[in-house]
Amino acid sequence: MEKAVVLLSGGLDSCTCMAVAKSKGYEVYPISFNYHQRHIIELEGARKIAAYFKVPRHLIIETNMDAIGGSALTDSHIDVPEGDVNRKDVPPTYVPARNMIFLSYAMAYAETLGASHVYIGVNSVDYSGYPDCRPEFIQRFQALADFATTATAVQGKKITIETPLQYLSKGEIVKLGVKLGAPYQFTHSCYKGGEKACGVCDSCKLRLQGFAEAGVKDPIAYETGND
């Protein structure tokens, strides 16, 4: 069985990616990150999702990205915005070079496992503020990855970056996940990192908007209620 590494934050999009990769028949290897993020609680979601899918191993990388800072998610002095989800600038929740760092670890893991694919839940429709979620970023990452490892640059193997959510709206993502049986009850999207989702940060607003568009009830609990 071919193997796929899946970047699993514990949020809605990465949970959907897990379901997509499973539906394609891959043996799925999730990789998650404790990067000292404000919403470290998302890792509990990641653990539950990994367990739900009965994966052979759930790799958790530990790293002190808060020592670099520069983001509301890794520096407690920068506030999480309560959200204009249609803003066009880069929001303060952008974490410098995060997807480049995470995808590089995923490539290392794919090489060691002999995996042929790496899944990442980037999306450029509903929330295009992050530069490292755009198709051009992924294309250039792929071009780099093809020259960066022994597997790809010397042995001629291909490790393909898959972005099944790239062009879907949040509503379409929810519909896809529901269809594939993604366990959204275990996901955590809120940037504030409380036990219940805040319902007002950018990430919560976008998520609620997605469930509303899909006509599906969000199974997680919100401080603000979700009926």
Q: Which is closer to its own copies, CB of 149 or CB of 187? A: 149
Per CB under 8 A, 193 contacts its own copies: no
CB 7, CB 105: distance < 8 Å: no
CB 31, CB 3: distance < 8 Å: no
Nearest to 132 by CA among 86, 94, 84, 91: 94
Nearest to 201 by CA among 52, 87, 67: 87
Q: Which is closer to its own copies, CB of 149 or CB of 189? A: 149
Single residue of 26, 53, 94, 184 touching its own copies by CB under 8 A: 94
CB 211, CB 177: distance < 8 Å: no
Single residue of 22, 39, 98, 170 touching its own copies by CB under 8 A: 98
What x-and-dash track marks residues 121-140 binding its own copies by CB under 8 A? ----------xx-x-xx--x
Single residue of 82, 83, 104, 169 touching its own copies by CB under 8 A: 104
| Greatest pairwise CA separation for the chain in angstroms | 55
d(CA 30, CA 5): 6
Q: CB 188 → its own copies: shortest distance, Å?
A: 22
Question: Which parts of this chain interact with its own copies (CB under 8 A)?
Answer: 59-65, 67-70, 90, 94-101, 104-105, 107-109, 111-112, 131-132, 134, 136-137, 140-141, 143-150, 152-154
